[in-house]
Amino acid sequence: MNDPHRDLRPEMLVLLACARRPLDAARTESVTAVLRGPFDWERLLALCTRHALLPLVDRHLQGFGDLVPAAARERFGRAARAALAQSVILTEELRRVLADFRTRAIPALAYKGPALAVQLHGDVTLRTFRDLDVLVTRTDFFRARQALTELGYHPGDAISGAQEEALLRSECDQTLIHASSGAIVELHWAVTPPHFSFPLPTEELLRRAVAVELSGLAVSAPGPEDLLLLLAMNGAKDLWTRLEPASLIAVLIERGLDWKQVETLARDLRARRMLALALTLARDLLGAAPPPIASDDPALPALVEEARARLLDDQGPGPGLLDIARFRLRSREHWADRVRYCALRAVLPTPADAPPWPRRWWPVAFARRPWRLLRAAVRNEAR
């Protein structure tokens, strides 16, 4: 393994080596050497689950023969088969939903989920996902939600009119659950909530979309340059608690990108720092080879170090409200985005702040928001 990883435990070394496809000769040799020593297979399974890399690692481990004990092969195989079954079922459900949207002339983007697995791995079974993300324009959101209702979906939690108004103003998606199958669809009208300041309109994503085939149906998915920025943004928004976004970014880098377009998008979105952070992590942890990364951003080294430490440590506590806010603020290079984040997070009510009353009462939530936020800050809860 590379020197920067020499102090890592063997299970993390194997995870990092197996987080990319294909497994080249150097990484195969390194994994072989690690597997010949003491090894905790349950810990590797836990790491794979946490980092959403179980199917990919299981596929690689199948090539190491007797170095993987029979009990471990069975344990991984069982978990991978369960993930595969869920992937196939949800892929068919996404196909059904998007086919219905097409008959209703509702433009939609298959966002994350099975479309991302096919787009980057060429195999829907090489990603794990528990729900389906569909992105539509804000104009089409209510029509799309009505279509899902007619397909058997309903909101995950019963909400009042006031709570729904708060949802539409403060969030970017609504969760709907199928009444009989339990399938979950997150219907997005934007890629981020208003406070996160990532102004990438759905209309632009649809214009630059690429076609991905799901069970014989061509569906729209984000173009590669947009996808790179979306993965970088989601990694920063989630505090880089999972390795999978870096794994997917490594695939995009290997396939080749229009880096001039990437730079233009990052500049327009004021997301160059988030992009540099994502590319650095993919390079340092997974051996990806992006173009030279600008090193004149004084905030970048500390961000990389914090994200790297979080990715490589599965023992620490989950981040709380203050941890989330600090990292997100530091990941933005422009003062206006930091001010917007603080201002909207402080005053814009969420559905949890709104009363269970009719829609006209939703402004009451403004009075409740500061107190609930203060309580969460004192307790350092994730909110």
Token pair 């020499």 is found at 6
- pLDDT band at 314; cut points 50, 70, 90: low
pTM exceeds 0.75 for this model: yes
Domain match, 99 and 173 both: yes
Residue 130 pLDDT > 50, yes or no?
yes
Is 99 in the same domain as 57? no
57 and 97 inside one domain: no
Same domain, 61 and 113: no
Report pLDDT for 6: 63
Residue 364 lies in a domain: no
Beta partners for residue 219, in sequence order: 212
Residue at 209 is within a domain: yes
Of 68, 100, 125, which residue constitutes the final position of a domain?
68
Same domain, 62 and 95: no
Residue 53 and residue 163 in one domain: no
User: Do 141 and 168 reside in the same domain of the chain?
Assistant: yes
| Domain assignment present for 242 | no
Spatial distance between the Cα atoms of 166 and 338, rounded to a whole number of angstroms: 22
Cα dihedral: 85, 86, 87, 90 (round 10): 130
pLDDT of residue 2: 43
Residue-level pLDDT at 279: 97
Closest CA to 236 of 263, 269, 264, 262: 269
Does residue 144 lie within any of the structural domains?
A: yes
Q: What is the reported pLDDT for 1?
A: 42
pLDDT attached to residue 381: 62
Q: What local confidence, expressed as pLDDT, does residue 313 receive?
A: 85
The tally of domains found in the chain comes to 2
Q: Are residues 214 and 149 in the same domain?
A: yes
Share of the chain above pLDDT 90, in %: 87
**Vertex 310 angle, CA 309 and 311, to 5°:** 95
Instruction: Name the pLDDT band for 374 (thresholds 50, 70, 90).
Output: confident
**What pLDDT band is residue 316 in, cutting at 50, 70 and 90?**
low
- Shared domain for 91 and 217, answered yes or no, is yes
278 within a domain of the structure (yes/no)? no
**C-beta separation of 257 from 224 below 8 A:** yes
Question: Which CATH number do you get for residue 185?
Answer: 3.30.460.40
Q: Domain for residue 43, yes or no?
A: yes
**Statement to judge: residues 98 and 215 lie in one domain:** yes
56 shares a domain with 104 = no
End residue of a domain, out of 183, 204, 222:
222
Does residue 317 have a pLDDT over 60? no
Taking the C-alpha atoms of residue 72 and residue 297, their distance in angstroms, rounded to an integer, is: 44
> The tokens 């108004």 sit on which residue?
165
Q: How confident is the model at residue 320 (pLDDT cuts 50, 70, 90)?
A: confident
pLDDT in tens, 152-196: 999 977 899 999 999 999 999 999 999 999 999 999 999 999 999
Answer whether residue 312 shows pLDDT above 60: yes
Rounded to the nearest integer, the mean pLDDT of the chain is 93
Are both 94 and 204 inside the same structural domain? yes
The pLDDT value given to residue 323: 87
For β-strands 109-111 and 132-135, DSSP reports them as antiparallel
- Domain annotation covers residue 277: no
Phi, psi torsion values for 20, nearest 5 degrees: -130, 155
Please tell me the predicted confidence (pLDDT) of residue 44: 97
Place 378 in a pLDDT band, splitting at 50, 70 and 90.
Answer: confident
Residue 9: give the domain boundaries.
3-68
pLDDT, position 64 = 95
Express as a percent the part of the chain with pLDDT over 70. 95
Q: Are 136 and 144 in contact (CB under 8 A)?
A: yes
pLDDT above 80 for 382: no
At 246 the pLDDT is: 97
Q: Which of 222, 246, 273 is the last residue of a domain?
A: 222
pLDDT score recorded for residue 315 = 61
Query: How do residues 70-125 score in pLDDT, each as one tens digit?
Result: 999 999 999 999 999 999 999 999 999 999 999 999 999 999 999 999 999 999 99
Contact 83, 214 (CB under 8 A): no
The reported pLDDT for the residue numbered 200 is 95
Q: Is 328 inside any structural domain? A: no
pLDDT of residue 60: 96
Give pLDDT tens digits for 271-301. Answer: 999 999 999 999 999 999 999 877 689 999 9
